[in-house]
Structure 1
Amino acid sequence: MQGETPPASSETAAPVEQAWSLAEPAPPETAVAASEGIKEAVSGKSETVGSIVDTLDGLAISLGHMRVSVFDVLIVASIVFGVIAFAWFASRVARRMVRRVQRLDDTQQLLVEKIITIAIWAAAFFMGIDLLGIDLTALAVFSGAFGLAIGFGLQKTFGNLIAGIILLMDKSIKPGDVIAVTDMAGNESFGQIRKIGVRAVSVTTRDQREYLIPNENLMINQVENWSYSSKNVRMQVPVGVSYEADMNLVEKLMLEAAASCDRVLKAPPPTVWMNEYGDNSVNFTIHCWIMDPEDGVGNVRSAVLKKLWWLFKENGIEIPFPQRDLHIRSSDQLDKLLAIMAKEKGE
């Protein structure tokens, strides 16, 4: 019939259909590639579990070309938890195995433990990335920002980590050493190193104050280590006696007081030095050696001084104290004042 449009042939309809299919948006990609394989494996084993998985997978949100479901979140949480648990358990096992090696001293054991721990956690990180099916090339966009974050925000952290490893390698600072510590007020005290951590060194003083000193500070600042090459420490006890005292007897009593302390070493023996002729006394210094500075120094000095006090009392040695002689010159005003005071006293 005239005016009727002939039906479109299959040859003309196919290109239109193909063009329509190309215009359709692609389905969103799954955020976690590993969840697809796990879902197929679980669904093939049990229909009930498969229906639960499908329900969880149906609860999802789409972010652009990315689809995130509740099932994906559970899979990621399970893998992360499993990887962290594996790394923690492997670190504990490796630490126990290292401590059983008798050929390594405490410092070497601590160094090996830290290196193995870092290697285990790094391996666990890449294993988690592989299990999750995350393509590392997808993170290329954020690599620059992540590098800047490490360079600026975590610079001190990585610096302290490397400094701690170097301290353990050269054995300049090791657990058990006694070092001098200065607080914020400038007061110096000594403490014993309890632990060398990833970020800081823990130092405990005699009054149970614990200082956390960054590893980097011990690398770049001067450190007074009392037990670096030997734990023997020489301590000084200053003593002053009267000018009228028998100096030979004084020296003998000082040596006796030092030798009476249990913590003072017999070899090298205590010695006594005369320092100076002071304003009110002859000043001596008792030098004695101890081999356990972590147990305190002030208590040894106190024990020596207490013993010396009673020895001086028994032998009549005077411990002087500041004294002053006043000489008043005579004058007319002073004579008048004294006369008035004498007159008032007589009345």
Structure 2
Amino acid sequence: MTLAGIIQFFILVVVVLVAARMVRRLLRSRILPRVPMGMGAKDAVARLAGYFVLVLGLMVALQTLGIDLTALTVLAGALGIGIGFGLQNIVNNFMSGLIILVERPIQLGDRVEVGGVQGDVVRIGGRSTTIRTNDNIDMIIPNAEFISAQVVNLSYGDRKVRIRIPFGVSYASEPRQVERLALEVAAADRNVLQDPPPSVRFIGFGDSSLEFELRAWTIDLAHRPGLFRSNLNFALWEQFKKHGIEIPFPQRDLHFRNSLRIEQAPEPDRPRQDG
């Protein structure tokens, strides 16, 4: 092994790294956009192709040093023991990343919730996945969390999401009129899907109001459910106010019981003492 061979090896490693990155960019920008595939599938193909070029290039670089790859089995066994003790989490996250790219339980652009964090998937890396919340905060979550923990994918297979908006009206209101007015509000909102259609459910009789629930489907605001509820709540308030339907507040009837008055008997007159 000469100095020239070592320099050649490092040059090949740099070339392999650059080639792997160029292959990923070429697939993402030129080739895969023409293929009728989902965005997540395109990203998975590009990453796997980059990994393949990287592994193949490193094997060629090692052979340029005159290293017999079959002799690396002992080194691989020792490395495996080291991985088992010190790099277990890193390898676990990397393998979980490969599983995510192949099985695609989550994809770029999906709306997910994991570990109490909800946001959009903006990047799937080899070790971690980046989720961007509605506050524009990027949360970096290890890939193993998506394999071992419970994950809620609001966009899996279908980007439609049904959101529920509870509300209450006074007991003097007519339930069928309330249903009709709420459906008119949903029909007038451009972010509410009409297929499947929105619906209204009469939930029950509350302490101070009749309890209803407006159920509406959306795609455009699936990633912003708070804004979706807010828009419909504003519209419901204006609609009910326009038609004289009261949205009550909690009321309580207080009953006072008469208390017994205990009168103190007057003290008896004391006899006067003459001096």
Bin for the TM-score computed over the shorter chain? 0.7 to 0.9
Letter of the 1:167 partner, please give it: I
1:169 is aligned to: 102
CA deviation profile, 1:296-327 (whole Å, cap 9, x unmatched) = 11111101111111122221111111111111
Letter of the 2:108 partner, please give it: P
User: 1:108–1:322: structure 2 CA closer, same or farther, 3 Å change rule?
Assistant: closer
1:34 is aligned to: 2
1:85 is aligned to: 14
Query: Could you say which structure has the higher helix fraction?
Result: 1
Letter of the 2:16 partner, please give it: A
Matches within 5 A, 1:60-75: none
The answer as to whether partners of 1:94 and 1:116 remain within 8 angstroms in 2 is yes
1:131 is aligned to: 64
SS in 2 for 1:332: coil
SS in 1 for 2:152: coil
Matches within 5 A, 1:239-318: 239-318=167-246
Offset at residue 230 of structure 1 (A): 0.5
Q: What is the distance in 2 between the residues matched to 1:267 and 1:302?
A: 21
2:266 is aligned to: none
Q: Does 1:220 align with 2:153?
A: no
The answer as to whether partners of 1:233 and 1:289 remain within 8 angstroms in 2 is yes
Equivalent in 152, 160, 164 of residue 232 of structure 1: 160
Structure 1 window deviating more from structure 2 (237-246 vs 257-266): it is: 257-266
Q: What is the distance in 1 between the residues matched to 2:175 and 2:216?
A: 19
Matches within 5 A, 1:197-216: 197-216=125-144
SS in 1 for 2:189: coil
Q: What is the distance in 2 between the residues matched to 1:319 and 1:232?
A: 30
Structure 1 window deviating more from structure 2 (287-296 vs 96-105): it is: 96-105
- State the percentage of identical aligned residues: 36
Offset at residue 239 of structure 1 (A): 0.4
Equivalent in 133, 154, 169 of residue 87 of structure 2: 154
SS in 1 for 2:2: helix
Structure 1 window deviating more from structure 2 (255-264 vs 270-279): it is: 255-264
Cα RMSD of the aligned pairs, angstroms, is: 2.5
TM-score by length of 1: 0.67
Q: What is the distance in 2 between the residues matched to 1:153 and 1:189?
A: 28
Q: What is the distance in 1 between the residues matched to 2:98 and 2:70?
A: 32
SS in 1 for 2:194: coil
SS in 2 for 1:288: strand
Offset at residue 236 of structure 1 (A): 0.3
Offset at residue 281 of structure 1 (A): 0.7
User: 1:218–1:277: structure 2 CA closer, same or farther, 3 Å change rule?
Assistant: same
Q: Does 1:106 align with 2:39?
A: yes
Equivalent in 22, 46, 51 of residue 118 of structure 1: 51
SS in 2 for 1:152: helix
User: 1:325–1:110: structure 2 CA closer, same or farther, 3 Å change rule?
Assistant: same
Structure having the higher Rg: 1
CA deviation profile, 1:228-247 (whole Å, cap 9, x unmatched) = 11101110000011101122
The answer as to whether partners of 1:240 and 1:282 remain within 8 angstroms in 2 is yes
Offset at residue 136 of structure 1 (A): 6.8
SS in 2 for 1:316: coil
SS in 2 for 1:92: helix
SS in 2 for 1:323: coil
| Structure with the larger RCO, 1 or 2 (CA within 8 Å, 6+ apart) | 2
Instruction: Please list every run of 5 or more consecutive structure 2 residues that lacks an aligned counterpart in the other structure.
Output: 264-275
Offset at residue 94 of structure 1 (A): 1.7
CA deviation profile, 1:133-188 (whole Å, cap 9, x unmatched) = 45779978866543321222222222222222222222221111111233xxxxx4
The answer as to whether partners of 2:16 and 2:58 remain within 8 angstroms in 1 is no
User: 1:97–1:229: structure 2 CA closer, same or farther, 3 Å change rule?
Assistant: same
Instruction: Please list every run of 5 or more consecutive structure 1 residues that lacks an aligned counterpart in the other structure.
Output: 1-32, 39-74, 183-187, 337-347
Q: Does 1:321 align with 2:254?
A: no
TM-score by length of 2: 0.83
User: 1:214–1:317: structure 2 CA closer, same or farther, 3 Å change rule?
Assistant: same
2:24 is aligned to: 95
1:65 is aligned to: none
Q: What is the distance in 1 between the residues matched to 2:190 and 2:133?
A: 22
